[in-house]
Structure 1
Amino acid sequence: MSNPPFGFGLPDPDKGRDNESSGGQSGSGPDAFQQLGQMLSQLGQMLSQAGSTSGPVNYDLAKQIALQRLGSEGRMGFTAGEESSESAVRDSAHLAELWLDEATILPAGATTTAAWTARDWIDRTLPTWQRLCDPVAKQVSSAWMQALPDEAKQAAGPLLSMVGQMGGMAFGSQLGNALAGLASEVLTSTDVGLPLGPETTSALLPQNIAKFTEGLERPKSEVLVYLAAREAAHQRLFAHVPWLRQRLLATVEEFASGITVDTSALEQLAGRVDPTNPASIEEVMSSGLLEPQTTPGQKAALGRLETLLALVEGWVDVVVADAVGERLPGAEALRETLRRRRATGGPAEQTFATLVGLELRPRRMRAASALWKLIGDRHGMQARDTLWTHPDLMPTADDLDDPLGFAERLGDTGALDDGVDPIAELERAERARRSESEPGPEEERRDEGDGENGVAGREPGDV
């Protein structure tokens, strides 16, 4: 991992040099204890200001820091002169949906279209960020607790709870700073490639889009329609492919569950740190000694996530290109601009790598786009989109390397017969998912009877 995840950010090296330049000493002696007293006093103030929020991440602090960094950009609502932006977003989204109807079998997925400010984006996406970040923070915290020797745990006693609260504050501070930077850059609610916003809500950020449009030499209205089409295409996938949203988020959680910490690092840490010398702590932190280890299981989860995100982005790329066609003169230029924006590791990728410890590889998006284009050309739009009905039908990482072979195998298996109704397949998959999670009357009566016979713990499907 090129960027250490939660809790492993490095301290500011300028702080130690500032103390030295002001006449203070960073070594041992009375000054060191005075600095320690000041640090504990400041820590107490921070803990009291952070509130009683429990959990691995202090999200109240994260939101507070993010809004403070945004400043005027984080205000709620638009000014009178910007009210037209909301109308323009709605009109652009409506036009984009009409065009997309001709380019995909998936119906419109958004029931609400919104123009968000940067603050709106933070408010609406924070619940999803919580789901993404909690597993990472919990695993990092528990890994360090488990790695502590029993003697250290007994000696720490009540301080362990304070350490946990400090960790939640550290994670919250890191998240708040990252979200502030991202909120001032993202163009839509799906800019990261993940379903961050509320379900069935299509959202664009007019203020950020206006900044993005500067220097493109394209009319703002044209850029807005193109981005609205991308957002609407994402929403169609997330709304009508029942397994997709859960699979994306669950894969991130799976990656987080594999985080481990090298316990031998604690022994090295104990031998290299002088508690009275802050400079020694700074040296250890900057050495990378505390960075968690990447396991084979994590690498496998990362590969699956990269492939799935590439397939989502590639499909959206192809469908939007087909939808706008020659309707927008600058469509191809905008398409390439957005491709390069993803490929150069923009703020979305960098923030995701820092927060969750996952570094995405946008280069796979071009391969996925070529694959979806080939399938559509050979087998038609209906066959292309039918593949989303079940995860087992989806292309794999190997298929991205051999799109021609995948397209040929589809034709050989006969899985894409014209007699298949893809919309009915999608609806059938959704009904099946709901029926699995909601037991019917017979199951409920059987469960009651099983409880009387002392076998209530029997798993579904057991005989």
Structure 2
Amino acid sequence: MTDASSPTVGRAVDWQFAGTVGTRLVRPGPPTTDYTCRQAVDELATAARAAERPVREVTRLGNDDAVPDARVVDREQWIRAASDSMRVMTGGTDRPSNPITGRITGAQTGAVLAFVSSGILGQFDPFATGSHPGGELLLVYPNVIAVERQLRVSPSDFRLWVCLHEVTHRVQFSANPWLSQHMSRALGVLTSDAGDDVAAVVARLADFVRKRRRGAQDPSEAGILGFMRAVQSEPQREAMDQLLVLGTLLEGHADHVMDAVGPAVVPSVQTIRQRFDQRRQRHQPPLRRLLRALLGLDAKMSQYTRGKAFVDHVVTRVGMDRFNTVWTGPDTLPLPDEIEDPQRWIDRVL
């Protein structure tokens, strides 16, 4: 049996090839002049610096240490950065364990990154391999330009609004270094060879199919997520739950902070929020809906709303200082059922 702490998925992918395929498949960004590109890059870098102080004031997290500048990138640069980060997260190396299968999985991964790269506005990457220890904030300027045009909102306001969300993630991880270690451990379990024989996996999959036919399946385990859980070992399921809950908390907290800070620093924040939420709910072509479902992007959207509802409830009840108990360690993170019922987390932790 393979040690669960040594991930094997990362060594099965040719990550360099994934980055190459992704940059070749990526769609071009919106047509813009060189002046508009330079203006967007400069303004996003400035907005990321300006967002730091109000985010720290609202969250009561962080200190007075100098903050590294954000890295403003295009889609191709984001793909390269993401493939490097995924290699680190999954314990991969520069050379895959099998060159042939490494190329195949690398091509598949690159295609996924190309699809995702056209929609992501920014992210804080705690596993970045760049020059900043502790992570790197990436902002994808072609996508920011595309969305602000689509929403017909003030570019300056929208760029600062986006930075409020992403800078919150940087503050979360920089103030709580254990978060990235917690993620790494869970990812190590999730991407490890569980040592199960084929019969055990088939038995779990058959049970999944029977429950689905009887209609006895938990709604939270439907679709691609339910299929993944069906073939996972119990430790892998627990690791999946840990990552889903943590992601829901991080995204919900960032959305809460973005709305708390927004009215004071973003004049048109109400218009931006209303139009952005409408964009999230917009009807999409069938193929795009299928791809989003397979990649778990719609589940990602639900993390924002469920996580924000949790944070809103707790902060309203006990205040931000007591809410920050959530960052003490893994044991104070909400459990899956507590995300849906915040009072249970208050009762257990506070």
The structure 2 residue matched to 1:220, chosen from 155, 175, 178, is: 155
CA distance in 1 between counterparts of 2:168 and 2:146 reads 23
The structure 2 residue matched to 1:372, chosen from 293, 299, 311, is: 311
Alignment of 1:401-412 (within 5 A): 401-408=340-347
CA distance in 2 between counterparts of 1:302 and 1:343 reads 26
Structure 1 position 68 matched with structure 2 position 6: no
Q: Secondary structure at the match of 2:137?
A: strand
TM-score, normalised on structure 2? 0.72
**8 Å contact from structure 1 (residues 189, 204) kept in 2:** yes
Letter aligned with residue 305 of structure 1: L
Give a deviation string over 1:290-326, Cα, whole Å, max 9, x none: xx93333332222221111101111111112111135
Structure 1 position 124 matched with structure 2 position 81: yes
CA distance in 2 between counterparts of 1:364 and 1:189 reads 15
Alignment of 1:49-64 (within 5 A): 55-64=11-20
The structure 2 residue matched to 1:388, chosen from 307, 327, 344, is: 327
CA distance in 2 between counterparts of 1:374 and 1:55 reads 42
**8 Å contact from structure 1 (residues 314, 372) kept in 2:** yes
TM-score, normalised on structure 1? 0.56
Q: 2:253 matched to which residue of 1?
A: 315
CA distance in 1 between counterparts of 2:187 and 2:281 reads 21
Structure 1 position 232 matched with structure 2 position 167: yes
CA distance in 2 between counterparts of 1:366 and 1:83 reads 34
Structure 1 position 186 matched with structure 2 position 111: no
Aligned-pair RMSD on alpha carbons?
3.9
Does 327-336 or 306-315 show the bigger shift? 327-336
CA 1:300–1:341: 2 relative to 1, 3 Å: farther
Bigger radius of gyration: 1
Structure 1 position 300 matched with structure 2 position 234: no
CA 1:341–1:245: 2 relative to 1, 3 Å: farther
CA 1:303–1:342: 2 relative to 1, 3 Å: farther
CA 1:323–1:81: 2 relative to 1, 3 Å: closer
Q: 1:94 matched to which residue of 2?
A: 49
CA 1:378–1:81: 2 relative to 1, 3 Å: closer
Letter aligned with residue 107 of structure 1: G
Structure 1 gaps of 5+ residues are 1-53, 142-160, 267-291, 414-463
Q: 1:111 matched to which residue of 2?
A: 68
CA 1:261–1:328: 2 relative to 1, 3 Å: farther
CA distance in 2 between counterparts of 1:59 and 1:98 reads 36
CA distance in 2 between counterparts of 1:261 and 1:211 reads 48
Alignment of 1:397-436 (within 5 A): 397-408=336-347
Does 335-344 or 114-123 show the bigger shift? 335-344
Q: CA deviation at 1:369?
A: 1.6
CA distance in 2 between counterparts of 1:315 and 1:228 reads 14
**8 Å contact from structure 1 (residues 378, 407) kept in 2:** no
CA distance in 2 between counterparts of 1:265 and 1:229 reads 43
Percent of pairs with identical residues? 20
Alignment of 1:452-463 (within 5 A): none
CA 1:107–1:335: 2 relative to 1, 3 Å: farther
CA 1:222–1:386: 2 relative to 1, 3 Å: same
CA 1:343–1:200: 2 relative to 1, 3 Å: farther
The aligned length equals 300
Q: 1:157 matched to which residue of 2?
A: none
Structure 1 position 84 matched with structure 2 position 23: no
Q: 1:7 matched to which residue of 2?
A: none
The structure 2 residue matched to 1:241, chosen from 172, 176, 179, is: 176
